[in-house]
């Protein structure tokens, strides 16, 4: 079985390949010659994940899955959520600016519960209706809280300020091996893997 993962993020690609094993061939956007930065214009993680998967299905006619992740902070009514990458404005993906803004918003706030949520949208070629893919979504969540300052060097994004439940260190201190066992993305990918392996 061959399936496109709508990403060019090498870290995400290798994480997913290691969970899925060799029985399912995963290819990236660059592997299929897609160089477009698919715009994430949705208002929810679900919409954005589907938009990315649908782009590949519509333009290449291939089965595809895509993910979208957000950090949801209770005291901020779920913000930054779908806007996590662009929370501090600008072109986005400025993790230092995003963390600074979040710590500022939570300054003096004792209630710091938060969670990372990943949604994966899977669109599979439907042999009976070539224009109409078979659709499934999978979700992975890790709960925790936001620290009052940054800790640790590993990981990316909000990792230095997110402390998962059951631990007293941030994702950036815990490191990749522990994070990949308990993370939102790992949990969503496990759901996807169970589904794909069952249907093989
Ligand atoms: P994406 O949907 O995976 O691109 O994630 C959107 C944004 O959420 C990223 O730019 C990061 O700021 C944040 N993010 C996603 N996953 C993680 C994670 O595992 N740790 C920390 N931040 C993350």
Residue nearest to atom 10 of ligand 1 (CA): 85
Residues touching ligand 1 (Cβ under 6 Å) are: 68-69, 71, 84-85, 93, 95, 98, 116, 155-159, 171, 183, 185
Nearest atom of ligand 1 to the alpha carbon of 48: 2
Check if the beta carbon of residue 143 is closer than 8 Å to that of residue 150.
no
Ligand 1 center from residue 129 Cα (angstroms): 35
The mean of the pLDDT values for the chain is: 93
Residue 47's pLDDT is 98
Ligand 1 center from residue 85 Cα (angstroms): 7
Residue nearest to atom 14 of ligand 1 (CA): 157
> What's the rounded mean pLDDT across residues 125-151?
95
Kindly tell me if the per-residue pLDDT of 23 is higher than 80. Answer: no
Ligand 1 center from residue 128 Cα (angstroms): 36
Residue nearest to atom 9 of ligand 1 (CA): 85
Nearest atom of ligand 1 to the alpha carbon of 69: 2
Catalytic residues: 68
Kindly tell me if the per-residue pLDDT of 200 is higher than 90. Answer: no
Could you tell me the sign of the dihedral formed by the alpha carbons of 63, 69, 74, 80, in that order? negative
Give per-residue pLDDT as tens, 54-65.
999 999 999 999
Ligand 1 center from residue 14 Cα (angstroms): 16
> What's the rounded mean pLDDT across residues 91-105?
92
> What's the rounded mean pLDDT across residues 63-86?
97
Q: What share of the chain is helix, strand, coil (3-state, %, to 5)?
A: 40, 25, 40
Name the residue with tokens 């006619």: 61
Q: What is the 3-state secondary structure (H, E, C) of 67-82?
A: EEEEEEEHHHCCCEEC
């Amino acid at each position: 079985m061959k399936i496109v993962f709508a990403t060019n993020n090498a870290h995400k690609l290798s994480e997913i390949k290691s969970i899925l094993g060799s029985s399912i061939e995963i290819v990236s956007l660059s592997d299929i010659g897609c160089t477009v930065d698919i715009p994430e214009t949705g208002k929810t993680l679900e919409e954005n994940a589907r938009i990315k998967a649908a782009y590949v299905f519509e333009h290449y006619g291939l089965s595809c899955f895509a993910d979208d992740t957000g950090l949801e902070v209770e005291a901020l009514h779920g913000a930054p959520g779908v806007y996590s990458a662009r929370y501090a404005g600008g072109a986005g993906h400025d993790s230092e600016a995003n963390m600074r803004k979040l710590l500022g918003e939570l300054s003096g706030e004792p209630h710091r519960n938060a969670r990372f949520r990943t949604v994966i949208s899977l669109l599979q070629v439907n042999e009976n209706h070539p224009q109409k893919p078979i659709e499934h979504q999978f979700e992975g969540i890790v709960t925790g809280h936001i620290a009052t300052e940054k800790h640790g060097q590993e990981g990316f994004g909000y990792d230095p300020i997110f402390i998962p439940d059951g631990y007293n260190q941030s994702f950036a201190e815990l490191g990749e091996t522990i994070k990949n066992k308990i993370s939102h993305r790992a949990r969503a990918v496990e759901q996807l893997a169970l589904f794909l392996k069952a249907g093989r």
